[in-house]
Structure 1
Amino acid sequence: MQITLAPMEGVMDHHMRQLLTAVGGYDLCVTEFIRVVDLRLPAKVYRRLSPELYNNSKTTSGTPVRIQLLGQNAHCLAQNADKAISIGSDGIDLNFGCPAKTVNKNKGGAVLLKSPETLYEIVREVRKVVPEFHTLSAKIRLGYDDKSLAIENAQAVAEAGADEIAVHARTKEEGYRPPAHWHWIAKIKDTIDIPVTANGDIFSVDDARRCMEISGCDRIMIGRGALATPNLAQAIKGLEEPNSWAEILVILKKYLFIQTMGDQEKYLPSRIKQWLTFMKLQHPQAAVFLQQVRKIKTTQEMLAAINKEQLSIS
């Protein structure tokens, strides 16, 4: 079973990709989206978001990284896909699923699910510039307001030439509220002939098993679940037991140490606290620890707090 590390805007940056792929089990990463409006962006924009381009588009652990583009102008998206491929991206992913209000207001992300014709046009134009030996994938939701166009949207993506499709099993209006409607992925899979990746509410090994059974998917994609339990991919593959709280504290410390110099004093404590909000979904200790560190503002204070927590459970 191939497992993809999902893109998560403002969370799954290259530091997090580096850490989680080092933990293991992930076969592919998709970057946070690059917003495309009306310009062919310079290489530095792509390399800033995905420094892995300097490493043959792989993390330091060797996991391939695919650039994701978001926009509504088919011609401009094609130009930028061509640019990303030319500087080494491991294929191209198109974002038709982002639920953010600002993105949708500017006619990007999930709002495009109102128009299967637009999805078809975008995928067709991007396919023209992405060589056959590079993967063109797309991520969708089940719809915007409702699921009435779910199958038509998936068919449009497939018929326009995409090699793969990932489906987050909710509409834009449903956001991230449970449950994820995995049975809808099965309906989609029955109507298209490209591999289908299931996404949504996969937080445990049992979730992954049930998702695969219900959806009949070819692959799975995890995001919030990977943050809640960093070695979830390894656990799903039967290679390890899910991380304990003690193991997670070690991973948090590693995250502090892989960061670059610069504004880390302002940046890192906030990112650790953000990460803990996802961890508390599976680990009650994370909720308690989050309350203890919520006023911390420096990296050294955060490191001291983690060391203290480790001592308390040893």
Structure 2
Amino acid sequence: MSEAATTDRVHVRAPGKINVFFEVGDLEEDGYHDVASAYQAVSAHEDVWAEASDRFTVSVSGTVEVSGVPLDDRNLAVRAARMLAAETGYPGGVHLEIRKGVPVAGGMGGGSADAAAALVACDALWGTGLPSADLHALAARLGADVPFALLGGTAVGTGRGDELSPALARGRFDWVIVTSGEGLSTPDVYRELDRHRQLHAADIAPVRRRPTVDPGVLQALRAGDPTALAATMRNDLQVAALRMRPALGAILERGERMGALAGIVSGSGPTLAFLAENEESAIDLQVVLSAEGHEALHVHGPVPGARVR
């Protein structure tokens, strides 16, 4: 372990994400699924401040609804801090102040961004100097989306989603995010997908045991072409999310009628992500959806991963 850091407060910002492509493999014997995802980090951020303390504590505020965020050891950022302390032999604790800008339980990885930010912030605060590869290994133990929140940018995730390979993405992609006041449980969405596949096995294509990202998605990202990306975006969890929350389908249709190139359920939902042709189109769509009573947010990507501010 290196010498303790001289600062007594560290600020780290980490991004939320959109899954622009998400293929889910067959149910494995251990109850999990392999996936293939194309992630893009977007400009909805989580801000985490770490301060020296004898105990591990957390406070949460934000521009989104935060009443459901745990304030004990169930909080993923607290778990990340405890894990780093145990890994490095750090004897003290930390107080984490989280200011959330990513919808809670919305499929955009806000909790994972908190965990990534906590790892980076505590490593800097404590002066533990953990190599990047070791931080990523800890992140993978906390959940599939945490390593991507460290990495940021655009990446392909395989296996359980935590085997990451950076992907080239040129230019800027503009999105309008529509949030929901009530989240969806990721395990419940996966179970609903399994039920749907079992019920409709005769009518849908066989599920691949080892899913892969559509090459067209990667080509569109490399070209910086939102129209081409819109034509290839897909989320296997979308059918399950829409079965559990049918009203989301009407919002998807409305956004596409009002000018979005395409709309998709982000991750396990219920947040919806609409891809726009450019910044101006995204702002126009945000205004329309907001006027109709939806919580709509304009974001862009790709943006960097967790960084000290």
Query: Scaled by the length of structure 2, what TM-score is found?
Result: 0.28
Query: Scaled by the length of structure 1, what TM-score is found?
Result: 0.28
Higher helix share: 1
With CA pairs under 8 Å and 6+ residues apart, which has the higher RCO, 1 or 2?
2
